[in-house]
Amino acid sequence: MNIVERFIKYVKIDTQSDENSSQTPSTQKQFNLAKEVEREMLEMGLTDVSLDNNCYLMGTLPSNTDKTVPTIGFIAHFDTSPDMSGENVNPRIVKNYDGKEIVLNEAQQIISSPADFPELLKFIGDDLIVTDGTTLLGADDKAGIAEIMTAMEYLIDHPEIKHGKIRVGFTPDEEIGRGADKFNVDKFGAEWAYTMDGSEIGELEYENFNAASAKISIQGRNVHPGYAKNKMINALHVANELVQMLPVNGRPEYTEKYEGFFHLIAINGTVDEAAVSYIIRDHDRQIFENRKKEMEQAVAFLNARYNNRLKLEMRDQYYNMREKVEPVKHVVDYAFRAMEEANITPIVKPIRGGTDGARLSFMGLPCPNIFAGGMNFHGRHEFIPIRAMEKATEVIVKIAGLVAKEA
């Protein structure tokens, strides 16, 4: 099976996670892909293959050298984002992209245009896999799974490439921030690993946001509007006041690079009660803590004004992996050199988001992030160049070879 066939098979299996579920996995349908990948792992000859009740799948490619080589790992996630449907994904290949508009869905007039997505112009001449405009594609992170599986198959078929023991791991619920919740680092047994969960060809990341979520519930006081003077407390207006108290230039649409943000992700309710949800992000730990304090102060101000009608629930989600990866920088250097050997220019930059690797790094498994190749994740305009998947697979193979060579 080539990587395109494998990838297309995977994306046609709906694995969307659900942030409102308290189960692991958050959706049972993630097992549909997990069981398919488990079957492939066994067929190709991986050992120690295990799929647990929480949808964590692991396996081993045994060492083929007598040298003592560090055990390394490669990790990707099954689920796709709740932001858009992953059901009935209908991918197609745009051959030799010409730099013009791509009509994804003629009937609904859904078009991917370089005017809106200038990154398309980087891939003129490439074969692109796109959606039909009604779903996301699922390259985040089914491309990563396909690349890891194809690399393992390649190493099995090419025993002349010497490598140590390689562990592969696939997780549920990364898109809702819970991918590492029940990942057994001791069972995985690698000295370090790489998540194949980045975007553009060449991306190599070992810095990410510090992250927190904030949910604010607001209890209003509903009174007939004809008799509401000095009585009504409109929960929706209080919610709006809260939103306006946070800095406009601190929203994601006005930030880039190392700049953090407050991101309003949901607001709903009635006059009687309302709820507001935010995610808070920053690369700098102290600024991150200050942002959380700013949220607490805004809620405290409104509680003083409205007699304690707001309740804030805030929790940290993950931290910047740089703190844990920098002391073992050689794990990044292997990936950097593997890319150079594959004629890829490494793009080392901070992740404006997070991966399973961020939390795993704090759980004792240093875990930088490598490109999987997809672009415009989480929406109908998602696409992936086939060359990106092929190159990501090549990088995995070269990392395995370099680690063994230098052991």
DSSP 157-170: H-TTS----EEEEE
Which DSSP symbol is given to 127?
A: -
Amino acid at 126: D
Give the CA angle between residues 259, 262, 266 to the nearest 5°: 145
Contact 233, 221 (CB under 8 A): yes
Residue 338, exposed/middle/buried by CB under 10 A (0-12, 13-18, 19+)? buried
Q: What are the CB-based long-range contacts (under 8 Å, 24+) for 248-255?
A: 250/291, 252/281
What is the spatial distance between Cα 279 and Cα 239, in angstroms, rounded to a whole number? Answer: 16
Residues marked as catalytic: 79, 174
Amino acid at 13: I
Tokens of residue 336, six digits:
């950097």
Contact 332, 367 (CB under 8 A): no
Which DSSP symbol is given to 34?
A: H
Pairing of strands 210-219, 310-318: antiparallel
What is the spatial distance between Cα 219 and Cα 308, in angstroms, rounded to a whole number? Answer: 9
What is the spatial distance between Cα 383 and Cα 91, in angstroms, rounded to a whole number? Answer: 9
Element (H, E) at 197: strand 192-198
Torsion of CA 237, 240, 244, 248, to 10 degrees: -160
Contact 28, 136 (CB under 8 A): no
Tokens of residue 182, six digits:
């029940």
Which DSSP symbol is given to 133?
A: S
